[in-house]
């Protein structure tokens, strides 16, 4: 109202409402000042009214610790490995694309070629969430939709070493996987094990259905489970929620 050099828009509005210098002389300038004062007061009243009316609206505050907000599907939270929602086997095929594409080099995959099935077999999968910058490149390159960004973001911890998640901590349960497959609208994995396991290893193909329910992700053979009991988690282990980490699955 008392600017010497008001910006153009304000000047335009003001001239539109109070007019601009049409009255001259001593009385005219007083009259102009009076009109401007009235205009300023009406603007202040408008502002007060707006603010007062806002007090009738609901607060937009999200009560975060009590109410966890519902994240959008592509929210880039904690990284995790999905399992087949039906069979519960790990979907990782150890192609190492995520490891290669990671700009921070925070993914470390340990795998070896199984002598029996002649396929890569996942031994361990480590992600250092302290290094990760949540760019989501690994989830884009993953051919089997195995590595995903979950909606969980509550990852505060007491030490850097506890931010390095291993396979056991990373693997989601069947229910969580089903939730994310549905939420992110990812195509469900094909029922591969039944077909793939049968021609590859004829001897052990006798029990693919039985193995699917309770065996390790890739090695469908009972011998493989016996050889590496600690590196390849069983269905019971993976079904557990990842060590005392709250997840936002339903």
Partner 1 sequence: MFTNVREWQKFTVLSLGWLCVIFGAVWIACWVVGIFIPMCLSNLNFDFSRILIEICKAITPIVAVMVFIPINAMFMVLLERRALALFTMRNGPNRVGLDGCLQTAADAVKLLLKEDIIPTGADAIMFTLAPIIFFAPSIFGAIPLLAAVTNNHELFQITNLPTGIFYVLAATSVPVVGIIMGGWASNNKYSLMGGLRSVAQSVSYEIPLVLSIITICLLAGTLDVVTIADQQSGGILNWNILGGGALTGLNAAIGSLLSSASRPFAEIISAYYPQGLLSVLGVIVLCLSTIILFGIYLIGACAEINRIPFDLPEAESELVSGYNTEYSGIKFAIFFLAEFTNLFIVCTIATVMFLGGGDCPLPYWLNPLSYPAIAEPLTKLLAPVFSVLINNLHFINPATFWAAIWVIIKTYGLVFFAILVRGTLPRFRIDQLMAFGWKRLIPITLIIFVLVSFARGVINFHV
* Nearer Cβ to partner 1 (6/103): 6
Bridge-partner residues for 112, per DSSP? 121
C-alpha span between 108 and 97 (Å, rounded):
11
118 sits near partner 1 (criterion: CB under 8 A): no
Helix H or strand E segment including 39: helix 25-54
CB 168, min distance to partner 1, A: 37
Nearer of residues 48 and 214 to partner 1, judged by Cβ: 48
Q: Least distance from C-beta 47 to partner 1, angstroms?
A: 5
Applying the rule CB under 8 A, the residues between 29 and 58 that interact with partner 1 are: 37, 44, 47-48, 50-52, 54-58
Which of 21, 25, 63, 187 touches partner 1 by CB under 8 A?
63
Verify binding: residue 226, partner 1, rule CB under 8 A.
no
The nearer residue to partner 1, 13 or 48, going by C-beta atoms, is 48
CB atoms within 10 A of CB 15: 12
Asked whether position 60 contacts partner 1 by CB under 8 A, the answer is yes
**Half-sphere exposure for 57 (CA within 13 Å, toward CB):** 8
Q: Is 66 in the site for partner 1 (CB under 8 A)?
A: no
- Give phi and psi for 124, each to the nearest 5: -145, 155
5 near partner 1, judged by CB under 8 A: no
Residues in contact with partner 1, total (CB under 8 A)? 18
User: In which order are the strands placed within the sheet that holds 107-113?
Assistant: 107-113, 120-128, 164-165
Is residue 164 classed as helix, strand or coil in its secondary structure? strand
What whole-number distance in Å separates Cα of residue 114 and Cα of residue 69?
44
What does the binding site for partner 1 look like in residue numbers (CB under 8 A)? 2-3, 37, 44, 47-48, 50-52, 54-61, 63
């Amino acid at each position: 109202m008392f600017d010497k050099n008001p910006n153009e828009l304000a000047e335009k509005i003001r001239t539109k409402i109070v007019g601009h210098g049409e009255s001259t002389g001593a009385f005219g300038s007083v009259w102009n000042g009076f009109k401007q004062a009235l205009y300023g007061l009406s603007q202040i009243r408008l502002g007060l009214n707006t603010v007062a009316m806002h007090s009738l609206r609901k607060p937009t505050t999200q009560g975060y610790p009590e109410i966890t907000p519902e994240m959008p599907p592509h929210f880039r939270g904690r990284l995790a490995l999905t399992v087949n929602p039906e069979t519960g086997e790990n979907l990782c095929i150890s192609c190492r694309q995520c490891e290669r594409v990671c700009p921070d080099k925070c993914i470390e995959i340990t795998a070896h070629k199984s002598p029996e099935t002649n396929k890569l077999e996942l031994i361990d999968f480590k992600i250092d969430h302290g290094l990760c910058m949540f760019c989501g490149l690994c989830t884009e390159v993953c051919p089997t939709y195995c590595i995903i960004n979950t909606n969980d973001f509550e990852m505060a911890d007491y030490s850097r070493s506890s931010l390095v998640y291993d396979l056991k901590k990373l693997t989601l349960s069947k229910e969580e996987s089903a939730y994310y497959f549905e939420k992110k609208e990812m195509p469900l994995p094909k029922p591969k094990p039944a077909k793939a396991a049968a021609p590859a290893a004829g001897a052990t193909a006798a029990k693919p259905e039985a193995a699917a329910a309770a065996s390790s992700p890739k090695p469908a053979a009972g011998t493989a489970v016996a050889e590496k009991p600690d590196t390849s988690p069983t269905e019971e282990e993976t079904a557990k929620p990842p060590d005392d980490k709250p997840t936002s699955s339903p």
